[in-house]
Each structure stands twice: as structure tokens, then as C-alpha cells.
Structure 1
Amino acid sequence: MLLKGRRAIVTGGASGIAAATVRAYAREGARVASIDIDDASGQAVAEEAEPEVAYFHCDVSKRAEVLETFAHCVEWSSQFHSGDG
């Protein structure tokens, strides 16, 4: 578990290399917020590794969406408490 206790935000996490990155980070112990505009695929990737992965809809070309989504990601990741100490 190389990334245990770490947090990451992956853009484009619904498909391709980014989806593989989401899966790999989660497999290595990271808490991952995956953002994309493809809700069906994004949710499917997140469901593979719940509760370590959550999907958030966000169009990264829209500044207001990015700021709002980032705030949601931070809130989500701070709700996670590991039992390791």
C-alpha cells in the first residue's frame, strides 16, 4: 500500500488512463476523488473501489464548477477517518 493515507483528485477519471489511475491509486490505499462529465462511467469506476473512491461531476473548463467541486472533494475526503491510529 504505497499510497495509504494519501488523498488525490483525478480529472477525467471516468475513462482511459485517468480511470486506470483512479483504480491504481485506490488499490494502493489512496482516497481518490474522481471528477469528469461522464456521469455513468465516472460512477461505475467509483463503485469499483468504494468507499475509497467517490465520483464528482465537474466540467473543468468552467472555473465556478471547479471551485465548487474542489470544495466538495475536500469535504468528502476529510470525512474519512482510518482506524489506524
Structure 2
Amino acid sequence: MGKVSVTAFVIKGGDVVTPSGVLTDGFVLVQDGKIDRVGSSGEFRRGDYGGMRMIHAEGKIVAPGFIDIHVHGGGGHEFLEGDET
């Protein structure tokens, strides 16, 4: 049995959020740990991705490239109030 790559997979079926809008029932192709392609279900051809791990995201929101920059802790400092400049 061959190895399944954890750096190459397809997320398919969710609502994919892009800078241009939302692709309902879209897909995201990840290769070598990076987003390689984003498209609508009409562009998806299973034969192109045979053997890749398929993550089914029906009913989910897929937001490729989003990074959560929310942090907690300020070492005892309050960042909501500061000196006016």
C-alpha cells in the first residue's frame, strides 16, 4: 500500500471564501503544503486528483490562507489604553 501525502490533499464541497467572493461548493487543492488551486465544483475533475486525500467539507466554510492573529497576554500590560501621539 502506498503512502498518503499529508502535504497534498483536496478540500472539496464547502463554501470557499476568496478575495473575489464565495465559491459555493468549491474546492481547494493543497500541494507541497501550499495552496495550489482554488475553484468551483464545475472546475473540479476527480481524475486530476486521483489518489490524493479528499477532505469533504459539505456544509462548512473553507477559508484558505486566513491566519488567526488573535492573541492573548501582554505580560501584564494593557494595550487598549496608550499615549496619544
TM-score of the pair, normalised by structure 1: 0.25
Larger Rg: 2
Bigger share in helix: 1
What TM-score do the two structures reach when normalised by structure 2? Answer: 0.25
Report 1 or 2 for greater relative contact order, CA contacts < 8 Å, sequence distance ≥ 6: 2
